[in-house]
Amino acid sequence: MRELGNNARLPNVRAAVLSTVIAGPGHGYDVGARMEDRFGGVVRSSHRHAHEHLRALEGQGLVEAVAPDAVREFAPSRSGRATGNVFRATRRGVEAWRDWLTGPLDETRATVDVLVRLRAVRPGDLATMRAILDAFETCVTCAAGHQPLLDADAALPDLLGADLTGAILDAQRAWIRDVRARLHDYEAQAG
């Protein structure tokens, strides 16, 4: 989602804000609180910062601020305060969100990217979940292919680093298998 900036953390935060607005419009505080509920622990941002991200997304044409009565699906803020504008996604915002969901993962932060994207998917959209999982598996496979082969004479820190990297890659592969099985079971139960 190129339109969300190049900062290493910011794209996921803005994508989380945009995903929250796509799920339902709201005031800045409400969007921030819902984002924390949905993405808490994966995306590090406070509901207090949601408004600045909403304004940045608005500047990019991905969301728009409208009067509350202009939005049919708007539910009043959790805080009970109904002041100011309500933010809703634009068509361009939905397209950018969809491109981000199905686009390539950044190999340097693929684990966080995949977790944010899976939480951003609409419930029941198994095809998109599988596409995200496929992209993550590609990153894991590429990372495994880039691991140097070390011999027993290598320095201990290099050996320990290689051991840790191998354990992480093994855990990621196991997680991918587990998620694929869960998606299969979910689809079998739903169908």
DSSP assignment of 52-104: HHHHHHHHTTSEEEE-GGG-TT----TTS---S-EEEE-HHHHHHHHHHHHSP
What per-residue confidence (pLDDT) applies to 106? Answer: 78
Dist. CA 118–CA 110, nearest whole Å = 12
pLDDT digits (tens, 9 = 90+) for 111-145: 889 999 999 999 889 999 999 999 999 888 888 77
pTM for the model stands at 0.74
What per-residue confidence (pLDDT) applies to 177? Answer: 96
Residue 98 CB neighbours (<10 A): 13
pLDDT digits (tens, 9 = 90+) for 69-106: 655 555 555 555 555 789 999 999 999 999 998 888 87
Write the burial class of residue 25 (CB in 10 Å: 0-12 exposed, 13-18 middle, 19+ buried): buried
What per-residue confidence (pLDDT) applies to 105? Answer: 85
pLDDT digits (tens, 9 = 90+) for 170-180: 999 999 999 99
Q: What percent of the chain has pLDDT over 70?
A: 85
What per-residue confidence (pLDDT) applies to 4? Answer: 55
Which is higher by pLDDT, 5 or 66? Answer: 66
How far apart, in Å, are the Cα atoms of 11 and each of 14, 43, 76? Answer: 5, 10, 28
Give the up-direction half-sphere exposure of residue 73: CA atoms within 13 A in the CB hemisphere: 8
Which of 117, 96, 114, 103 has the alpha carbon at shortest distance from 175?
A: 114
Q: 2-102 has which CATH code?
A: 1.10.10.10
What per-residue confidence (pLDDT) applies to 181? Answer: 96
Residue 175 makes CB contacts below 8 A (sequence gap 6+) with none
What per-residue confidence (pLDDT) applies to 78? Answer: 52
